[in-house]
Amino acid sequence: MKKLFSLIAILGLSVSLSMAQTPAVQQTKKETTKAKADAKKATAKVKADAKNAEKKQADAAVKLKKDGTPDKRYAVKETAKETKTTVKKTAAKGAPATTAATTVPGLKKDGTPDKRYSAAKEKAEAPVKAAKKEVTTVKKQTTTAAASAKDYRPTIDRSLKGPNGEQVLTGPRGGKYYINKNGNKTYIKREAE
């Protein structure tokens, strides 16, 4: 049995030595992998250049939706850019900018202010700010009135007595009441006065 194992071990060692690579083979493999990597880099660069060229061509062409109709959002941006450049040119020449006033951003087609622009926001928020100031002044007035109602001290009406002989008080708005045995206010009807 020992002879069999030693024979198998010698056989395995000889097979592994016969399959060992020489340094020349290893060097050629390194060169081929390097050449493959260089080729991949070159193809990636060519693909990137092709994509950039397609992108430039697509930007120059009319943008289309998925269904094939022209996308008007891009057309609006291009016309806006063109109007801005024409406005700048006319302003530089000293010509009146009447066309610029009609295409000024900040107004919608119907003439209402577009709140996406800061100037239009200020114009639209001005009435709101005035209304807020008015509301705060009204609140201040009501709080002062409420404070005066809290500061009110009831007067005692000595001519009237409650059902069990309690003293009758006059409230801030002229109502007459007495404090019942539970400590609550009980108002007297005006007919009883």
pTM equals 0.25
Q: Tell me, what's the pLDDT at 88?
A: 59
Percent of the chain with pLDDT over 90: 10
Who has greater pLDDT, 153 or 102?
153
Q: How confident is the model at residue 100 (pLDDT cuts 50, 70, 90)?
A: very low
In the predicted model, is pLDDT for residue 99 greater than 70? no
In the predicted model, is pLDDT for residue 67 greater than 80? yes
Are 107 and 121 a contacting pair, CB within 8 Å?
no
DSSP labels, 133-174: HHHHHHHHHHHHHHHHHHT--PEEEEEEE-TTSPEEEE-TTS
CA distances 78 to 56, 61, 186, Å, are 15, 12, 77
In the predicted model, is pLDDT for residue 193 greater than 80? no
Who has greater pLDDT, 123 or 141?
141
Average pLDDT, the chain: 77
Range scoring the smallest mean pLDDT among 19-23, 90-94, 162-166:
90-94
Range scoring the smallest mean pLDDT among 69-78, 85-94, 107-116:
85-94
The arithmetic mean of pLDDT across residues 53-67, rounded, is 75
CA distances 64 to 55, 57, 70, 79, Å, are 14, 13, 4, 17
